[in-house]
A and B are shown apart, each in its own frame.
Chain A
Amino acid sequence: MNCQECQAAMLNVLAAAGENLPPEAALHCQACSSCRESYRKQVTLFGAIDLGIQSLVNQEIPGSLMRRVQVRLSSDTPKALFWTPSSGTALFAAATVLSVCLTLFLYGRGNLENAERPDVSVSIVTTSKTPAPPLEKTATAAVLSRKSTHARALQIRTGTAEPEVIVLAEEREAFTKFVNALPRETNVAVALTRPAPASTDGPVEFALLRISELEVKPLEGMPSD
Chain B
Amino acid sequence: MADFVLAQSEQRFRRAIAPESATVFRRSELERLLAENASLAYRVALSVVRNHPEAQDVAQESLLMAYRKFHHLRDAQRFRSWLVRMTFRLALDRKRSARRREARETSWAEPDFRPPPQSAEELAASREFQERLDRALEELPRRLRLVVILNAIEGHTVGEVAELLAISPGTVKSRLFRARKFLAEKLL
In the bound complex, CA of A170 to CA of B44 (Å): 75
Output the least CB separation between A20 and chain B (Å): 16
Output the least CB separation between A206 and chain B (Å): 61
Asked whether any CB of chain B lies closer than 8 Å to the CB of A209, the reply is no
Partner of B149, one of A45, A50, A57, A64: A57
Asked whether any CB of chain B lies closer than 8 Å to the CB of A12, the reply is yes
Name 15 A/B residue pairs within 8 A (Cβ), A-sorted: A44-B123, A45-B188, A46-B120, A47-B124, A49-B180, A49-B183, A53-B152, A57-B44, A57-B46, A59-B46, A62-B42, A69-B64, A73-B64, A78-B4, A83-B71
Knowing A68-B60, A86-B72 are in contact, say whether A15-B180 is a contact too (CB < 8 A): yes
Contact (Cβ within 8 A) A48 B129: yes
Q: In the complex, which residues of chain B have a beta carbon less than 8 angstroms from the beta carbon of A82? A: 5-7, 71
Residue in chain B with minimal CB distance to A85: B12
The 9 closest A-B pairs by CB, nearest first: A47-B120, A51-B124, A48-B123, A15-B181, A80-B71, A48-B124, A83-B7, A15-B180, A57-B47
Partner of A76, one of B9, B67, B178: B67
Q: In the complex, which residues of chain B have a beta carbon less than 8 angstroms from the beta carbon of A46? A: 120, 180, 184
Asked whether any CB of chain B lies closer than 8 Å to the CB of A61, the reply is yes
Contact (Cβ within 8 A) B152 A61: no
Contact (Cβ within 8 A) A44 B119: yes
Asked whether any CB of chain B lies closer than 8 Å to the CB of A144, the reply is no
Knowing A48-B120, A57-B43, A57-B46 are in contact, say whether A69-B184 is a contact too (CB < 8 A): no
B-side binding surface: helix, strand, loop or mixed?
helix
Knowing A54-B152, A56-B47 are in contact, say whether A69-B1 is a contact too (CB < 8 A): no
Contact (Cβ within 8 A) A68 B184: no
In the bound complex, CA of A57 to CA of B1 (Å): 35
In the bound complex, CA of A83 to CA of B11 (Å): 11
Q: Give B116-154 as 1s and 0s: 1 = Cβ < 8 Å from A's Cβ atoms.
A: 011111011000011001000100000000001100111
In the bound complex, CA of A14 to CA of B154 (Å): 22
Stretch at the interface among B33-41, B97-105, B106-114, B161-169: B33-41
